[in-house]
Structure 1
Amino acid sequence: MFKFAFFFAFFLFFTTNTTSGSHNNTSSCPTNSCKNGPKISYPFWFSQGSLPDQYCGYQELGLFCDDNGNAIFSPPPGKYYYVKDIDYANHILKLVDFDTANITCPRALHSFPLGNLPLSHSPLNSNLNFYYNCTHYPSSGVPPIECLSSGANRSFVFLMGNETEGFDCQEKVVVAVLKDQITSHDDGGLINEFAGAMNEGFLLDWQTTTNCAECEASNGTCGYSNTRKETLCFCKDGTTKSNTCQGGGGSRTGLSRLIIGLIIGGGIGALLICILVYSFRRKLSPIVSEIRKVKKIHQDIEALIRSNGPLPIKRYSYSEIKKMTNSFQSKLGQGGYGQVYKGNLSNNSPVAVKVLNASKGNGEEFMNEVISISRTSHVNIVNLLGFCLEGQKKALVYDYMPNGSLEKFIHNKNLETNPPLSWERLHHIAEGIAKGLEYLHRGCNTRILHFDIKPSNILLDKKFCPKISDFGMAKLCSNTQSIISMYGARGTVGYIAPEVWNRNFGGVSYKSDVYSYGMMILEMVGGRQSISIEASHSSETYFPDWIYKHVELGSNLAWDEGMTTDENEICKKMIIVGLWCIQTIPSDRPAMSKVVEMLEGSIDQLQIPPKPFIFSPTKTQVDICTTTSSSD
């Protein structure tokens, strides 16, 4: 009976609309092109000379041709950009700044003025930060852009997030470029790459404008009237209306019969549902309760995302996630949080897609990760490209890290597949992680405490540049807040700071991350000896205790006779830094800025720290950690 009711409704619809016809109003949406540019079609519109009385397209997305036949986009206030490509399938616009195109040493004059345009920066972009006419700057370590410097005034460029302090400059400009055009992680290499990157351009994603949302929802095509100064909606029946086609422009008779049919069918269906609910109300009660719970979680996540303002990352549909992973064909890993799959974006850029388990808590970890990482931009922080949230389906899209996690190199069981990392590379990785943590603690507008620093959460790119990942445990606080309140313990056994699981040791703060970092770099050193950081407390080989005795006695720390003097020095430096970081009292631990300084400085300047009261909670003492942290 239920199926019959809806069949009857659709039967009425189709039998009353067979003569109404369906006309595509293509004449109102012409396709144009410039001599040297892509085709110009909806939602873009073409203007040459005076503005047309009315046109089909978004009011903000008008294009024109210059005298050389190049397509030009001119957003207010009076900026000009070459239109290099328009990807209509993926809503991507590629632009090159008119003022810096084809210049050997370009001087960026302005950022792209997003304003109220229906455009947003693509996650495939990176930001370059230009400092111009600097009168005060560090005397060494940061190379200037010679071709943009004049006399004593120097100019500099940084990848956003890598800026250093000590600059007094007359002007600063932020410019977007494609990530794949920047391959150097140091400022010297960036000087040789920024001109080519700016000439290659950047990408913008476009979204439906607020004025056109109602029209497109009614199956119409949006436009604008310059004479009446109002939004138009071109309907499929050939009519032009204001704002909406009111259901697509079909005949009123057919629409009325459809409504009547739906009312009758809906009424019968509702009656049947009421009977079923009444009959099985006891069985349905727990199901309804679960549905309400899931809906509440979903609403809480959506509300939290909205309260944090527009996110600078793309939101994907679940169908897009399936498409980019080829229906989840290639699995990279699995943990308590869910599964990670390899995928490809529309431009064939490889990505890692983390699909969270539907039953994973109340969505707190998902919200933490999206909001925390979307606020960051640093070479040592994993880059979040986008996320998906559809009911219980949650996924995160990251840059693909071909070398996987640091953990597999520390506890290396297959020397042929994963050759051991050199001491120099281990030092470089430790330094990069420290800089990433320093950025989280001091470089963001909002301080981010990670609370789960461990080798499996450090990813390595193709050049073994470390990236801090997995912000599910993270907590945000103001830069002025030294001690934070937190219910229960969070983290992974073996890396949790004493004050996190027992407040008698002190308040929880950014120094808790410092402790986890210290345990991790000691493990990086101990990995050569295959000594676990989670060794039994009764064991004589508990590594921090064992290694402190050797440092205190001045013993030779070489794991094998083949270690050089420089390698032994790196080893000892990492151990001393690690021991400072795991001091029991939080105030005795250095800030991450000091850790970076210690790693970059000479071993002769480092003092042996006091012996820490070394103890880490057993799994029974912080059982909550095993349920709130991943074991990936």
Structure 2
Amino acid sequence: MCRANSFLCFLQIMVVAMLLHHHQTCDATNSNINKTCPPSSCGKISNIKYPFRLKNDPATCGDPRYELSCEKNITMLKLLSGKYHVKSINYNNYTIRLVDPGIKEGDCSSIPRNFLTSSNFTSSYNYTYYEDPYQNFQYRIPSGTLRLFQHVVYMNCSNPILDDPAYVDADSCIKSNSQGGHVYTIAGDLKVENIKHDCHVAAVTAISFLGYDYSSYKRDIFYQKFSYNEIHTMLLGGFEVAWMSGPCEDLCREPPCYLRETTWSLRCSDHGDYCITTMGFHVDCGSPSKLRMFVEGIMYGIARGFMQAFGATIYNGSRGISQSKLGIDIGTTIGKYVLAPYILVRLMLGLVVFFAKLIHKYRIRHTSMYENIEDFLQGNSLMPIRYSYTEIKKMTNGFKDKLGEGGYGKVYKGKLRSGPSVAIKMLGKHKGKGNGQDFINEVATIGRIHHTNVVRLIGFCVEGSKRALVYDFMPNGSLDKYISSREDHISLTYKQIYEISLAVARGIAYLHQGCDMQILHFDIKPHNILLDQDFIAKVSDFGLAKLYPIENSIVTMTAARGTIGYMAPELFYKNIGKVSYKADVYSFGMLLMEIANRRRNLNSNADDSSQIFFPYWIYNELVEEREIEILGEVTDEEKKNVKKMFIVALWCIQLKPNDRPSMDKVIEMLEVDIKDIKIPPKPSPYPTEIIQDNGVSSNESLSDDDVTGSISFLEETMEHPLL
């Protein structure tokens, strides 16, 4: 045929050549790629396949833009200017999880080696697949544009930051690597207006999103408080970037394309293969049937009618779907005159039922509590007198003279008709257990005992929600104010201090062994030691107490109870030992240390870190036989008693319960000559760990009841001060 018409033959050859040349140009990046090569492996990554390849794989295997390397049996990826460990490759959702090689497991002082921010990647509004094999976002249907990671920002600050929850203190881990200043981290994205406190950015690295809905990427992201150890652990988990661009290029030739989450398949956006309906569904486009148009019209009409019923309008946001006018009219009528009134009535009925159930539950709970208390009082023959609320009100002269207030309620000064003054504790309505257990504990415990060194319960009141306890009045108040108060008050002599410590020990010993039932107080502290007119100490406040048979040496506990700083370690750490009366011995030891020292055990103004926890310091002084400085004029006998109190206190606060003495032994040691008492082992440093591990204030009591945006502001980066 070419011979017959050489001109036509020439034209055919030219067209074929141009087509072949065009095909080769478009396929320049993929013409020599073999997509069927067997998978490679390196370390924990055992399925490295197209488009990924290892550096030593045959040249025809995998896409060179997705080349990985195997270094010391660890799969590595070079991303931008740094290298990262490959933690996993997800061929389902086209993501690869990476970890900065500078982050080491078990070493919180390890810090990121690479500087990486969202701004290092091409923005989601202007990119080409050919230039960027990796992205920090994905187009997904129906979620929309999905950001895959945010940031951890390392800040170097000149001064400590105390009032900003976004700044997480990292000094405890990485201060030794810094060149002065204070190191903080911010988990989440950071805007330029958030840089304050005389701080500058030292490093930025990527981290997976922190548990909130990251699909709404246009909203501001609020900071969530994490410790630096938690942030470091999350950095070990790595972050994800998308490698969807290569497969999209293979499929669509030109971007963009999207990932359909229902089938986890890639689709080309410019193929017009889906439309968004009025209700937000993604459906295949094409010529819709009349039934489909009618149904779409009804759905749109129902939404429009419902909004009209409440004075609002709805915008027809459907794309690519025609709607039947008849369907719209029918739907509007249904939405306005049927659906809206129905929902409104259901809502009102639901609110009525909700509040009715709430009131009913409240009444049942309180009725049960009152019945519990009444049943207890009926079944126990108690010495205390039962007063009416009217009598309580008269005693306190209308609650005019308030002595104090705490988590338990309020305490007022009162007067009996016979003359003596009393202290009346009005328990709060919602304090303690819902069944009135705190009230029962106190009445059951104090109501059956009488001892010189235990406060006496004169009477009580139970009337509806009103509950009160009537005690002997202690004119000198609690021991707490003689240890920590800055107000002017009568100072205790060292003789009085020694007598108070003996009195408290005798009171606790009586609780442990002097009654038919063993009484464990669980809240021995200065606040609960009251002083009468002669400064005789009495143990008070039995709201957390537990009663056990004398023969039971082990106590079953469901939760920690007491006050931080005085609580025994076995209440927190189950592997130390079982909970027993030795928990009260520990609390007494901490109390005795404060009585002898006449101040709190934690000394924040100490020059030496070993003095911050006072028992450490006093132990060192005793071991090195240095004389302990005592304020004021004291006799040699008083000096010996103070030293003896310190030694006994150190015995009481031993870490293991078995190493602590009984209260009878404590009294014996306090009464014998100091030469007959050995110095115990050094106390454990656990108290400060408890406060950190449990996140509880040192003044807190425990009982059974108990953002968006990128880092585009980084215009220049200074030398990394953390390295």
TM-score normalised according to structure 1 size: 0.53
1:278-297 alignment runs, 5 A limit: 280-297=352-369
User: Aligned to 2:371, what secondary structure does the other structure show?
Assistant: helix
Change (3 A) 1:611 1:291: same
1:158-169 alignment runs, 5 A limit: none
* Contact 2:559/2:703, CA 8 A, preserved across alignment: no
Q: Quote the residue 1:435 is aligned against.
A: 506
* Contact 1:404/1:460, CA 8 A, preserved across alignment: yes
Q: Quote the residue 1:519 is aligned against.
A: 590
Deviations 1:275-328 (A, max 9, x none): xx9995543321121111111122222223334x21111111111111111110
The one of 370, 381, 393 equivalent to 1:322 is 393
User: Aligned to 1:504, what secondary structure does the other structure show?
Assistant: coil
Change (3 A) 1:322 1:458: same
The one of 487, 493, 496 equivalent to 2:567 is 496
1:341-356 alignment runs, 5 A limit: 341-356=412-427
Equivalent AA in structure 2 for residue 387 of structure 1: F
User: Aligned to 1:506, what secondary structure does the other structure show?
Assistant: coil
* Contact 2:562/2:701, CA 8 A, preserved across alignment: no
Given the alignment of the two structures, is residue 506 of structure 1 paired with residue 547 of structure 2, yes or no?
A: no
Equivalent AA in structure 2 for residue 449 of structure 1: L
Deviation at 1:561, TM superposition (A): 6.5
1:357-436 alignment runs, 5 A limit: 357-361=428-432, 362=434, 363-415=436-488, 418-436=489-507
Given the alignment of the two structures, is residue 588 of structure 1 paired with residue 662 of structure 2, yes or no?
A: no
Q: Distance in 1 between matches of 2:604 and 2:459?
A: 35
Change (3 A) 1:590 1:627: closer
Larger radius of gyration: 2
* Contact 1:330/1:341, CA 8 A, preserved across alignment: yes
Equivalent AA in structure 2 for residue 504 of structure 1: N
Between the aligned residues of both structures, percent identity stands at 45
Q: Distance in 2 between matches of 1:576 and 1:364?
A: 37
User: Aligned to 1:508, what secondary structure does the other structure show?
Assistant: coil
* Contact 2:560/2:702, CA 8 A, preserved across alignment: no
Q: Distance in 1 between matches of 2:522 and 2:367?
A: 29
The one of 621, 631, 638 equivalent to 1:560 is 631
Equivalent AA in structure 2 for residue 618 of structure 1: I
Q: Distance in 2 between matches of 1:564 and 1:374?
A: 41
Q: Distance in 2 between matches of 1:554 and 1:522?
A: 18
1:195-210 alignment runs, 5 A limit: none
1:46-125 alignment runs, 5 A limit: none
User: Aligned to 2:575, what secondary structure does the other structure show?
Assistant: helix
User: Aligned to 1:560, what secondary structure does the other structure show?
Assistant: coil
Deviation at 1:412, TM superposition (A): 3.6
Q: Quote the residue 1:191 is aligned against.
A: none
User: Aligned to 1:409, what secondary structure does the other structure show?
Assistant: helix
Equivalent AA in structure 2 for residue 283 of structure 1: F
* Contact 2:560/2:703, CA 8 A, preserved across alignment: no
Q: Distance in 1 between matches of 2:634 and 2:559?
A: 44
* Contact 1:454/1:495, CA 8 A, preserved across alignment: yes
Q: Distance in 2 between matches of 1:322 and 1:434?
A: 35
User: Aligned to 2:626, what secondary structure does the other structure show?
Assistant: coil
Q: CA RMSD in A?
A: 2.6
Count of matched residue pairs? 351
User: Aligned to 2:655, what secondary structure does the other structure show?
Assistant: coil
Deviations 1:383-414 (A, max 9, x none): 00011111221110000000000010111413
* Contact 2:520/2:547, CA 8 A, preserved across alignment: yes
Change (3 A) 1:299 1:550: same
Q: Distance in 2 between matches of 1:619 and 1:336?
A: 23
Equivalent AA in structure 1 for residue 374 of structure 2: E
User: Aligned to 2:470, what secondary structure does the other structure show?
Assistant: strand
Structure 1 range deviating more: 376-385 or 314-323: 314-323
Deviation at 1:538, TM superposition (A): 6.5
Change (3 A) 1:311 1:278: farther
Q: Distance in 2 between matches of 1:473 and 1:357?
A: 15
* Contact 1:342/1:350, CA 8 A, preserved across alignment: yes
Q: Distance in 2 between matches of 1:542 and 1:591?
A: 24
Equivalent AA in structure 2 for residue 407 of structure 1: D
Change (3 A) 1:594 1:279: closer
Q: Distance in 2 between matches of 1:449 and 1:535?
A: 35
Q: Distance in 1 between matches of 2:601 and 2:369?
A: 42
1:409-488 alignment runs, 5 A limit: 409-415=482-488, 418-488=489-559
Q: Distance in 2 between matches of 1:429 and 1:619?
A: 32
Q: Distance in 1 between matches of 2:394 and 2:691?
A: 43
Q: Distance in 2 between matches of 1:525 and 1:580?
A: 14
Deviations 1:155-207 (A, max 9, x none): xxxxxxxxxxxxxxxxxxxxxxxxxxxxxxxxxxxxxxxxxxxxxxxxxxxxx
Given the alignment of the two structures, is residue 544 of structure 1 paired with residue 615 of structure 2, yes or no?
A: yes
Q: Quote the residue 2:370 is aligned against.
A: 298
Deviations 1:13-44 (A, max 9, x none): xxxxxxxxxxxxxxxxxxxxxxxxxxxxxxxx
Q: Distance in 1 between matches of 2:545 and 2:695?
A: 18
Change (3 A) 1:487 1:334: same
Deviation at 1:500, TM superposition (A): 1.3
User: Aligned to 1:503, what secondary structure does the other structure show?
Assistant: coil
Change (3 A) 1:328 1:603: same
Q: Distance in 2 between matches of 1:561 and 1:298?
A: 54
Q: Distance in 1 between matches of 2:560 and 2:594?
A: 22
Q: Distance in 2 between matches of 1:593 and 1:278?
A: 63
TM-score normalised according to structure 2 size: 0.46
* Contact 1:619/1:626, CA 8 A, preserved across alignment: no
Equivalent AA in structure 2 for residue 357 of structure 1: G
* Contact 1:493/1:619, CA 8 A, preserved across alignment: no
Deviation at 1:507, TM superposition (A): 0.5
Equivalent AA in structure 2 for residue 288 of structure 1: H
User: Aligned to 1:382, what secondary structure does the other structure show?
Assistant: coil
User: Aligned to 2:535, what secondary structure does the other structure show?
Assistant: coil
Q: Quote the residue 2:710 is aligned against.
A: none
Equivalent AA in structure 2 for residue 324 of structure 1: M
Change (3 A) 1:344 1:472: same
Q: Quote the residue 1:532 is aligned against.
A: 602
Given the alignment of the two structures, is residue 311 of structure 1 paired with residue 385 of structure 2, yes or no?
A: no
Q: Distance in 2 between matches of 1:533 and 1:470?
A: 27
Q: Quote the residue 2:55 is aligned against.
A: none
* Contact 1:494/1:534, CA 8 A, preserved across alignment: no
